[in-house]
Structure 1
Amino acid sequence: MRKSIVGLTAVLLSSIAAPALAQDEPAPAVTVTGGATVVSDYRFRGISQTDKRFAVQGTFTIAHESGFYATVWGSSIDDYVAAGSDQEIDLIAGWAKDFNGTKLDLGVLYYYYPGSGGMNSDFVEPYVAVSHTFGPLSAKVSAAYAPKQNAIGLTFPVGTGSVFKKEDNLYTALDLGAGIPNTPVSLSAHLGHSFGPSYLTIGKEYTDWSVGASYTWNHLTFGVSYVDTDDDFITPTGRNASKAGVVGSIGVAF
């Protein structure tokens, strides 16, 4: 959030006339934030979760001044993602703290897919991220590791039969952001790599990347981004869910 000084004279006059109003109110111990977004395509690490169709998403976060926070995030998805489920609900608990401009964020994320027909599709993924701001520029490196679990396992052919194996998954990413000074426009770039094999990596390693821009007006944010990967994932309808595409979004924050 950017703050600006509207004039030294006005500040001095207000402090003389009403000193109590000139004092900043203490920040609340607990803050509640949320929002809703409509996207033209929900991409998870470069791969469409909606068969390249629209998705409706929402989020709600409670944060304490100590740095601990809890978030619920949800999105509509296509049924090929999680054994027939048409919803993804992410339950997140974490801790974030700023150290002289460098922010450390630690947490764990549980992916919940209601209505998946009793299939073992839910999985857990701890994560860590370190970010730093350089004036209008920001940079973040992050890693998310999903330990061996049935939900992200794979079936391998063995002789005339097959065998199922639990798998783990590691995802690393670099994100860059920049706000254009004196404008409501921000630019972003992302590079990520998924290490496999697992269900999350289409059976092998792959890289995803994106570049984007956003425009904020009051509580609304309009975004557009170009997303691509170096792999192919064909959905049941014959679409390539990991092929390059342009994704648009409209979001509201409260």
Structure 2
Amino acid sequence: MFRKTMLTGLLAATLGSQAFAADVAAPAPIAAPAPWAFDFAFGGKVMSDYNFRGISQSARGPAINVYGEARYGWLYAGAAYWTTKLPNRPIGEVDLYAGIRPVVGDATFDLGVMYYLYPNETQFITTSPPAPAGFAGIWTANRSNFVEFYGKVGYDITPQLNVGAALYYAPNWLGTGAYGTYGEVNAKYKLPNDFAISGAVGHYWLGTTYGYLGGVNLQDYVYWNAGVSWTYKDFLTLDLRYHGTNLTSQQCFATTGDYRGVFTGSGRSNWCGHSVVATLSVDLQWSKLPYK
């Protein structure tokens, strides 16, 4: 029997926003450390595909995101919502997160925790028929909600060039019982006329699922992205980005439980393949609004 797991996706935050599609909701650019005063960032994005760490969370279709984040000096807490199209059919993905962003010289650190919530999800279980022979079974966890801890750092080598790294750890990834550890390095270079190029390379280490999900050792994989962006007046960004992984279509199916691969009997998924994603983002900050 094929592996009985799925990737319901994550979301939210970003390592330089374009460095990844969803890891903590993409906040407005962080300015130099300000006095300890309250501020609020909010915004959203429209995407041709919600790609999270190399895997589509919207079945290769369009998606939207909205977020709000309260800030007080280095402290922050926020929430984000992403539309999804996943095997367990939640009404979307809700991310709740909090942490600190200390700034030391030219380095910005980000240490925090995020809770991923999938409201109204239904465990994806199939029988044969209607599923083809060999494709009956449990494909998702009973509850996919999970907690992830993260640490990130970005360093301005020059005013134009920023390099960074990030590490994420989930003890119960997507409720499957498997651990999930994701590490990434990234870079962004500012070009004239408000253009920028950026990219990232990451690796996902995944553990073994619960017995009722087959006790499967999930496939580790490498993820990378590269793209170009243009920003208008520090609040509107258009990004065009290539995403890729080293997962085969069969490995992608075993990881995601793609419902199309189940009901067609192909045992394959294109959710992890090479793709180009267009994103239009709006990021606003209360303290910078012209009229308050």
Residue of 179, 188, 194 corresponding to 1:177:
188
Q: Which residue of 1 aligns with 2:243?
A: 227
> Are the structure 2 counterparts of residues 59 and 150 from structure 1 closer, same or farther at C-alpha, using a change threshold of 3 Å?
closer
Shift of 1:99: 0.8
| 2:279 corresponds to 1:249 | yes
Shift of 1:86: 3.1
Residue of 107, 113, 130 corresponding to 1:108:
113
> Are the structure 2 counterparts of residues 195 and 240 from structure 1 closer, same or farther at C-alpha, using a change threshold of 3 Å?
same
Q: Which residue of 1 aligns with 2:147?
A: 124
Which amino acid is the alignment partner of residue 132 of structure 1?
A: Y
Equivalents in 2 of 1:90, 1:121: separation in Å?
A: 13
Alignment of 1:26-45 (within 5 A): 29-45=37-53
Q: Which residue of 2 aligns with 1:204?
A: 219
Question: Is this contact kept in 2: 1:79–1:86, CA < 8 A?
Answer: no
Question: Is this contact kept in 2: 1:152–1:198, CA < 8 A?
Answer: no
Question: Is this contact kept in 1: 2:173–2:180, CA < 8 A?
Answer: no
| 2:157 corresponds to 1:134 | yes
* Bigger-Rg structure (1/2): 1
RMSD: 2.0
**Greater RCO, 1 or 2 (C-alpha within 8 Å, sep 6+):** 2
Question: Is this contact kept in 2: 1:207–1:230, CA < 8 A?
Answer: yes
Residue of 30, 53, 64 corresponding to 2:61:
53
Question: Is this contact kept in 1: 2:185–2:201, CA < 8 A?
Answer: yes
Equivalents in 2 of 1:106, 1:99: separation in Å?
A: 14
State how many pairs are aligned: 211
Shift of 1:100: 1.1
> Are the structure 2 counterparts of residues 30 and 86 from structure 1 closer, same or farther at C-alpha, using a change threshold of 3 Å?
same
Question: Is this contact kept in 1: 2:68–2:78, CA < 8 A?
Answer: yes
Q: Which runs of 4+ in 1 moved over 6 A?
A: none
Measured against aligned partners, the alpha-carbon deviations of 1:23-78 in whole angstroms (never above 9, x if no partner) come to: xxx8570111111100000111100001100001111111111x110021111001
Identity %: 27
Measured against aligned partners, the alpha-carbon deviations of 1:203-241 in whole angstroms (never above 9, x if no partner) come to: 110000000111112332111000000003232224410
Residue of 70, 74, 77 corresponding to 2:77:
70
Shift of 1:131: 1.4
Which amino acid is the alignment partner of residue 53 of structure 2?
A: R
Secondary structure, aligned partner of 1:115: coil
Q: Which residue of 1 aligns with 2:127?
A: none
| 2:154 corresponds to 1:144 | no
Measured against aligned partners, the alpha-carbon deviations of 1:160-202 in whole angstroms (never above 9, x if no partner) come to: xxxxxx221110001111111x421011101110001357x99
Secondary structure, aligned partner of 1:167: coil
Equivalents in 1 of 2:89, 2:242: separation in Å?
A: 28
Equivalents in 2 of 1:99, 1:145: separation in Å?
A: 24
Unmatched tracts of structure 2, length 5 or more = 1-33, 124-141, 210-215, 262-268, 285-292
Equivalents in 2 of 1:202, 1:253: separation in Å?
A: 39
Equivalents in 2 of 1:27, 1:197: separation in Å?
A: 43
Equivalents in 2 of 1:29, 1:76: separation in Å?
A: 32
Q: Which residue of 2 aligns with 1:21?
A: none
- TM-score, with length taken from structure 1: 0.78
Equivalents in 2 of 1:221, 1:33: separation in Å?
A: 15
> Are the structure 2 counterparts of residues 220 and 150 from structure 1 closer, same or farther at C-alpha, using a change threshold of 3 Å?
closer
Unmatched tracts of structure 1, length 5 or more = 1-25, 154-165
| 2:179 corresponds to 1:168 | yes
